[in-house]
């Protein structure tokens, strides 16, 4: 099996305002896959479809080799899930919550769970409802990790948490992946956070996939070019032209994707002059890809 998650031509509609019309994405086994997009873009809906919480109107979903939703119980037995909103009984203590959760997973690792509780400084006697937001986030991550999953599905796991807690949670994920070579599917709109450890990135907007590429390629291939005497019509470019803007009568700024140094020869052939190549950070690249995608889909 080469892909931990494979979604093909997925269709889903929620009321009159939102739909996923035709979604295809693949998550390589062993990857840390960052699922980026603004709020309301369909990230949580996609995750719920992956986990069998929603039923698609069309298309196929395969998770860890199991078809979803028909074979979802077998898939869920191998998945650790941290939802966007807590799903824990607020009256149960941390210890009671751990025991309750452990009863559902034959792979539950008590020594690892206790080690995580100590690392996260969680008091086992505290009821969930009295925990701070950061403590709740730590417990939810503990529950997902202690079952020793093959796939971690994390929906905005650090949303609203302070930087110290975010660092602790991300460190736990990285340590687990290094130990078990697990696959991680993590959705977020905190772009800079995913840049540090994801090796794949997908960009979602309004129920559609705007991009899905290895992280290094995404970071290194989106450029801002400054061009003198640009061609009136670009023609067949070796890169993807996302946007162009005039800076004065004889110069333009182009935003391009899938750039490689050898492509500078294109401008020589068109009688233009490539004056500057400017790297973009991940957030700038994300914004430009999203802006171009929206312009094409108006």
Mean per-residue pLDDT of the chain: 92
**pLDDT at 202 (0 to 100):** 95
Whether 286 is covered by a domain: the verdict is no
The arithmetic mean of pLDDT across residues 80-92, rounded, is 92
pTM: 0.90
Residues 135, 238, single domain; the answer is no
Q: Is the pLDDT of residue 120 over 60?
A: yes
Whether 267 is covered by a domain: the verdict is yes
Whether 295 is covered by a domain: the verdict is no
Domain boundary among 217, 238, 260: 217
Q: Is the pLDDT of residue 178 over 70?
A: yes
Number of domains in the chain: 2
Q: Sorting pLDDT into bands at 50, 70 and 90, what band is 89?
A: very high
202-240 tens-digit pLDDT: 999 999 999 999 998 888 889 999 999 999 899 999 999
The arithmetic mean of pLDDT across residues 277-281, rounded, is 92
Whether 290 is covered by a domain: the verdict is no
Residues 8, 129, single domain; the answer is yes
Residues 238, 194, single domain; the answer is no
Q: Is the pLDDT of residue 86 over 80?
A: yes
CATH of the domain at 76: 3.40.50.300
Q: Is the pLDDT of residue 193 over 90?
A: no
DSSP per-residue letters across 130-172: GS-HHHHHHHHHHHHHHT--SEEEEESTTTT--HHHHHHHHHH
Residues 80, 64, single domain; the answer is yes
Whether 292 is covered by a domain: the verdict is no
Domain boundary among 217, 245, 270: 217
**pLDDT at 87 (0 to 100):** 86
Which residue range(s) make up the domain with 100? 3-217
Residues 188, 251, single domain; the answer is no
Lowest mean pLDDT among 80-84, 145-149, 237-241, 248-252: 248-252
What percent of the chain shows pLDDT beyond 90? 72
**pLDDT at 107 (0 to 100):** 95
């Amino acid at each position: 099996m080469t892909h931990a998650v494979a979604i093909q031509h997925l269709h889903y509609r929620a009321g009159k305002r939102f739909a996923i019309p035709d979604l295809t994405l693949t998550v390589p086994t062993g990857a840390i896959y960052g699922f980026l997009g603004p709020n309301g873009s369909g990230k949580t809906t996609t995750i719920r479809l992956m986990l069998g919480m929603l039923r698609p109107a069309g298309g196929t979903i395969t998770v860890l080799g199991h078809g979803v939703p028909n074979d979802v119980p077998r898939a869920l037995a191998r998945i650790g899930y941290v939802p966007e909103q807590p799903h824990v009984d607020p009256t149960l203590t941390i210890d009671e919550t751990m025991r309750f959760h452990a009863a559902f997973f034959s792979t539950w690792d008590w020594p690892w769970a206790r080690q995580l509780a100590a690392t996260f400084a969680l008091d086992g006697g505290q009821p969930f409802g009295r925990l701070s937001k950061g403590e709740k986030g730590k417990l939810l991550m503990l529950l997902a990790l202690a079952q020793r999953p093959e796939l971690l599905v994390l929906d905005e796991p650090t949303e609203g948490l302070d930087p110290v807690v975010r660092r602790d949670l991300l460190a736990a994920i990285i340590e687990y992946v290094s130990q078990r070579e697990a696959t991680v599917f993590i959705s977020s709109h905190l772009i800079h956070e995913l840049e540090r450890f994801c090796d794949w990135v997908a960009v979602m907007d309004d129920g559609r996939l705007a991009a899905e590429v290895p992280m290094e390629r995404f970071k290194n291939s989106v450029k801002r070019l400054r061009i003198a005497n640009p061609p009136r019509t670009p023609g067949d470019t070796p890169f993807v032209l996302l946007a162009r803007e005039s800076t004065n009568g004889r110069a333009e700024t182009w935003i391009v994707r899938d750039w490689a140094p050898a492509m500078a020869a294109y401008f020589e052939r068109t009688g233009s002059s490539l004056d500057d190549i400017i790297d973009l950070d991940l957030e700038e690249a994300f914004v430009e890809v999203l802006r171009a995608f929206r312009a094409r889909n108006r």
